[in-house]
A and B are shown apart, each in its own frame.
Chain A
Amino acid sequence: MADKFSVVGKRQPKLDGPLKTTGRSQFTDDIVLPGMLHGKIVRSTIPRGKILNIDTSKAEKLPGVMAVITHKDAGGIMVGPDQQLLCDEVVYYIGDEVAAVAAVDEDTAYEAAELIKIDYEPLPPLLSIEEATAPDAPILHQYYEDNYADELNLNFGDVDKAFAESDHIRVDEFTTYPTHNCFAELHGTLADYSLPGKLTIWTPSQTAILIQKGMAQSLGLSESNVRVCNLNTGGAFSGRGAVRPHHLIAALLSRKASRPVRIMATSDEEFIVCRSGGRNKLTFKSGVMKDGTLKVIDADHLYDCGAYVETQFIMPTIVGATLLLLYKIEAMRYRGRLVYTNNVPYFFHHGGGLVPSQFALGQHLYLIAQDLGMDPVELQLINGVDKGYTTLNDTHFASCGLKECITKVARKSGWKRKYGKLPPYKGIGIGCGVMSSGGKGLFIHDTSAAFLKIGEDGKLSLFTGLPDMGQGSHTTMAIIAAETLGIAADDITVVSGDTDIAPFDVGAFAQRGTFTTGNAVKIASLDAKKQIAKTASEKLGVKPSTLIFRDRKVYPKGAPDKAISFEDVVFDTLNSMEGRFIMGRGFYNSPTSKPALAYSFGAQIAEVEVDPETGMVKLLKMTVAHDVGRAINPLAVEGQMDGQVFSGMGQTLFEECVMENGQVLNQSRLDYKLPRPYEVPDIEHIIVESNDPYGPFGAKEVGEGPIACNPHAIAMAVSNAIGYTIKELPITPERVLQALKEKRKEKEQKS
């Protein structure tokens, strides 16, 4: 029998490959508009202080300067609950936006920015969670009673009873340090607000809709009068999901100068604008039975959110909810608190906050396995969730390939042969993860819509509001439409990146692309298919329901010899008395009141080698299994696995913003260590297909699930290699050497 699918599951190269490999893909910095000006932001040089005076007179007189703005031009616009656009009285961190200029060229803009003089009265900054939560700490933001920006408490089951019944209880505390997303394309935007009442903005983003809504709300515009163009996005990794000050500043400069204004971050500025993960203090307490059954998890997490909270309140929700999803536990308690400091405001790094938390939980569970004398793979297998399981918060898993992932990575990596039997300084570790596929909760709905039109030649244009930041979602959408209509992915042009054209789509986050927009595209394709089937059924004299669409042909089931070409049917539909032009439309909003309808699962096994002289860790091999439901495009699935292993490895072993007095000290891509080709490990891909009943063709996410698996796999492997568990992230050479020292000290004390 022929394959069930003719397009789905084939290795499909990206449809925009020719554009991207020739450099023709346009990014924000590539757009030049007539009369365009260059903007530059003037930022605070101190972590906390009162603004005594802002003198812009010299800048305004500089030839070529077309606009200078301060808080007086911002009209009290707020960015989030606590941040006033352009500071008026107080600055809260090194980098806080105070003023901005627009000039005819970049050099003039820089010169003008230098001429703006700001006088401060410095105030003592709060630079750590400890300082900010001390009883006598000054309160940073007005209208708040303390420096806690937000708090989430979750409580399921009888936690105290579960601990009382446990055979063994363990508590561990972990500290993780600030990181940075390091997108290839730096932050930037081009705003044209030179016509009354209409703003057009070009920006890399994961979501055009949230940028549109945010800009409209802040500037008092109707949403449809804000046109967002996000043609291409040079990486996003959870960090480009909201309106940021530079978007609004560019718009205000454009309005004042009546010309389009582009602002691009410089390399060092990028470390202030981007705002990735902050410093976290994570405590885990768990109760287990002697046989390894995990009964209860109690987590208390403190997150340094920096000067402003932005959308970080989502992070505790993600981290807390995830603790309920992976293991069959009786009870769970979570307290997540965001703490204001005078550090750079933090946002999301790849993994949406899960890398630090999964690292800590993984190390904690490894210590528990050692306490019990258990094999860590066994511990995962005993406690992992299964298909049909319902969690404490009533989440039901209609598909779940977790155990299959665990057993496959264990077998493929030779876990039994290796664990506990490796030579000194070589180690192996396992990590497991879960990720919502199409996470809901931002609005009452979580809608993606899609349109398509089919030309007389049988070629299709597919309109989607889902941005493709590199994950290949536009190609995935084309595959889903092609499979539904029985044509090839190459027959499809994906039209996107402009809110004036594209249909509504919440965006490419919460792993909703393949699942949610994929379902919308499938529904739109089915709508078109129904119209084509009407013509074909008349021509073939059979019922529409018996028609097969495949390989650009339409034929009655079981009679491929009677096939007529897809192109001919479409042509005849238009060239008829009815004159019907084929257009499909559809939307999807996953029918659940829960955070998500589907979840992906994964397991990874890391093998490392530690150099005891230098403390350097080399990730030798990663065996990766991920339950993607169905691999729509295996080539892209592997690409997602690779990228996340690499990024997770970066966050686990290398990446840290070194902070001093609120200043990022390593503000460049050379000083901020991240992996490069020399650090590439050997990767084994295992795709597990659990065929989710709600996913398009059974598909679930793979865009962020794998990174939720690997920090603890790598961290456990390092612990296994050196015989000591490191409780700080990243596991830099210094921390490895420190751990070896501690280990020697502990040994001496014992003997």
Chain B
Amino acid sequence: MKRILSLNVNGNSYEIAVNPWQTLLDVLRDELRLIGTKSGCGIGTCGVCTVIIDGKAILSCLTLALECEGRSITTIEGISCAESLHPIQKSFIENGAVQCGFCTPGIIMTSKALLDENPKPDDNEIKDALSGTFCRCTGHIKIMEAVRKVSQPVKEEKSDG
């Protein structure tokens, strides 16, 4: 039996009828057609489907849509606009952290949750945050470099505050 769910995604409110067993991932992709969140393994082993819920990086394939009532959800579509990419996205491009691109949105969202909470993570903190992600192409090396580099402008900006 479907239930009506109020969902807040990227600052927009949606009211949709969902089945109790539908995951947030399915609702984002199939109902809202926000396909930037990719569907990987479906069982929480690869991190591809990561979104940010109330500031935390969460696997949308393991989250039931109905659990998200009233919570603030950010997907990859919500961090950039037509005018400009998010600094993490720019850093991933400039530092060669993107290869096939399938895991990229999930890793960027994981990185964003990390940097929002800890703008200057050390290498171990980056590894910790990314340990649930999965990239078969880059060996994670340039991904870590991209995350490391995006945290540097924050350091420079501090001088005027």
Q: Tell me the nearest residue of chain B to A27, going by C-beta.
A: B102
> A183 and B136 in contact (CB under 8 A), knowing A20-B101, A22-B85?
yes
Tell which of A305-313, A677-685, A741-749 binds the partner: A677-685
Least Cβ distance of A237 to chain B in Å?
Answer: 7
Enumerate B52-104 residues with CB–CB distance to A below 8 Å.
Answer: 75-77, 80, 85, 89, 92-94, 96, 98-104
> A184 and B92 in contact (CB under 8 A), knowing A29-B38, A680-B140?
no
Assess whether A645 is interfacial by the CB under 8 Å rule.
Answer: yes
The distance in angstroms between the C-alpha atoms of A577 and B89, with both chains bound, is: 47
Enumerate B118-132 residues with CB–CB distance to A below 8 Å.
Answer: 126-127, 130-132
Tell which of A219-227, A469-477, A589-597 binds the partner: A469-477
User: How many chain B residues touch A (Cβ–Cβ < 8 Å)?
Assistant: 50
The distance in angstroms between the C-alpha atoms of A264 and B39, with both chains bound, is: 10
The distance in angstroms between the C-alpha atoms of A84 and B85, with both chains bound, is: 50
CB-CB < 8 A to B89: which residues of A?
A: 18, 21-22
* B140 and A646 contact, CB distance less than 8 A: yes
List 30 A-B pairs, Cβ < 8 Å.
A16-B101, A18-B85, A18-B89, A18-B93, A19-B101, A21-B104, A21-B105, A23-B104, A23-B105, A29-B38, A181-B136, A184-B137, A185-B102, A232-B100, A235-B100, A237-B136, A267-B42, A267-B45, A470-B98, A636-B96, A643-B99, A645-B139, A647-B136, A669-B46, A676-B133, A676-B140, A677-B140, A677-B144, A680-B127, A683-B139
Assess whether B48 is interfacial by the CB under 8 Å rule.
Answer: yes
CB-CB < 8 A to A698: which residues of B?
A: none
> A184 and B142 in contact (CB under 8 A), knowing A21-B104, A235-B136, A267-B42?
no
Assess whether A561 is interfacial by the CB under 8 Å rule.
Answer: no
* A639 and B104 contact, CB distance less than 8 A: no
Assess whether B141 is interfacial by the CB under 8 Å rule.
Answer: yes
A23-44 CB contact bits vs B (8 Å, 1 = yes)? 1111101101000000000000
The distance in angstroms between the C-alpha atoms of A647 and B139, with both chains bound, is: 7
* B40 and A646 contact, CB distance less than 8 A: no
CB-CB < 8 A to A32: which residues of B?
A: 33
With most chain B CB atoms within 10 A of its CB, the pick from A32, A184, A233, A267 is: A184
CB-CB < 8 A to A635: which residues of B?
A: 96
CB-CB < 8 A to B80: which residues of A?
A: 22
* A184 and B141 contact, CB distance less than 8 A: no
Assess whether A668 is interfacial by the CB under 8 Å rule.
Answer: yes
> A639 and B35 in contact (CB under 8 A), knowing A22-B89, A677-B133?
no
CB-CB < 8 A to B93: which residues of A?
A: 13-14, 17-18, 21
Assess whether A670 is interfacial by the CB under 8 Å rule.
Answer: yes
CB-CB < 8 A to B4: which residues of A?
A: none
* B126 and A643 contact, CB distance less than 8 A: no
With most chain B CB atoms within 10 A of its CB, the pick from A18, A21, A27, A668 is: A21
CB-CB < 8 A to A636: which residues of B?
A: 96
* A22 and B77 contact, CB distance less than 8 A: yes
B13-54 CB contact bits vs A (8 Å, 1 = yes)? 000000000000000010001011111111101101000000
User: How many chain A residues touch B (Cβ–Cβ < 8 Å)?
Assistant: 56
CB-CB < 8 A to B142: which residues of A?
A: 638-639, 642
> A677 and B126 in contact (CB under 8 A), knowing A13-B94, A21-B93, A643-B138?
yes
Interface residues of A (CB under 8 A from B): 11, 13-14, 16-27, 29-30, 32, 181-186, 232-235, 237, 264, 266-267, 270, 469-472, 635-636, 638-639, 642-647, 668-670, 675-678, 680, 683
* A267 and B100 contact, CB distance less than 8 A: no
The distance in angstroms between the C-alpha atoms of A24 and B139, with both chains bound, is: 23
> A21 and B137 in contact (CB under 8 A), knowing A14-B93, A267-B43, A669-B46?
no
* B102 and A184 contact, CB distance less than 8 A: yes
Least Cβ distance of B96 to chain A in Å?
Answer: 4
B144-156 CB contact bits vs A (8 Å, 1 = yes)? 1000000000000
Least Cβ distance of B37 to chain A in Å?
Answer: 7
Selected from B39, B98, B132, B136, the residue in CB contact (under 8 A) with A17 is: B98
CB-CB < 8 A to B35: which residues of A?
A: 23, 26, 30
* A29 and B39 contact, CB distance less than 8 A: yes
The distance in angstroms between the C-alpha atoms of A676 and B37, with both chains bound, is: 21
* B36 and A680 contact, CB distance less than 8 A: no
The total of interchain contacts (Cβ-Cβ below 8 angstroms) comes to 161
Least Cβ distance of A273 to chain B in Å?
Answer: 13
* A23 and B96 contact, CB distance less than 8 A: no
The distance in angstroms between the C-alpha atoms of A14 and B93, with both chains bound, is: 7
The distance in angstroms between the C-alpha atoms of A470 and B135, with both chains bound, is: 11
* A182 and B77 contact, CB distance less than 8 A: no
Selected from B45, B94, B127, the residue in CB contact (under 8 A) with A678 is: B127
Assess whether B108 is interfacial by the CB under 8 Å rule.
Answer: yes
Selected from B45, B103, B108, B139, the residue in CB contact (under 8 A) with A680 is: B139
CB-CB < 8 A to B45: which residues of A?
A: 267, 668-670
* A13 and B102 contact, CB distance less than 8 A: no
The distance in angstroms between the C-alpha atoms of A21 and B100, with both chains bound, is: 11
Q: Which 5 A-B pairs have the closest CB atoms?
A: A23-B36, A646-B139, A470-B100, A20-B101, A234-B102
* A21 and B135 contact, CB distance less than 8 A: no
> A20 and B98 in contact (CB under 8 A), knowing A676-B131, A680-B141?
yes
Least Cβ distance of B135 to chain A in Å?
Answer: 7
> A267 and B138 in contact (CB under 8 A), knowing A27-B102, A471-B99?
no
The distance in angstroms between the C-alpha atoms of A469 and B144, with both chains bound, is: 21
CB-CB < 8 A to B39: which residues of A?
A: 29, 264
Least Cβ distance of A190 to chain B in Å?
Answer: 14
The distance in angstroms between the C-alpha atoms of A247 and B140, with both chains bound, is: 31
CB-CB < 8 A to B143: which residues of A?
A: 677
The distance in angstroms between the C-alpha atoms of A29 and B142, with both chains bound, is: 27
CB-CB < 8 A to A27: which residues of B?
A: 38, 102
> A22 and B100 in contact (CB under 8 A), knowing A184-B136, A237-B136?
no
Least Cβ distance of A640 to chain B in Å?
Answer: 9
Selected from A184, A469, A670, the residue in CB contact (under 8 A) with B48 is: A184
CB-CB < 8 A to A184: which residues of B?
A: 40, 46, 48, 100, 102-103, 134-137
The distance in angstroms between the C-alpha atoms of A17 and B90, with both chains bound, is: 8
* A23 and B85 contact, CB distance less than 8 A: no
* B137 and A643 contact, CB distance less than 8 A: yes
The distance in angstroms between the C-alpha atoms of A642 and B36, with both chains bound, is: 26
* B139 and A23 contact, CB distance less than 8 A: no
Q: Tell me the nearest residue of chain A to B41, going by C-beta.
A: A267
* A21 and B140 contact, CB distance less than 8 A: no
Selected from A16, A29, A182, A642, the residue in CB contact (under 8 A) with B141 is: A642
CB-CB < 8 A to A26: which residues of B?
A: 35
The distance in angstroms between the C-alpha atoms of A63 and B136, with both chains bound, is: 40
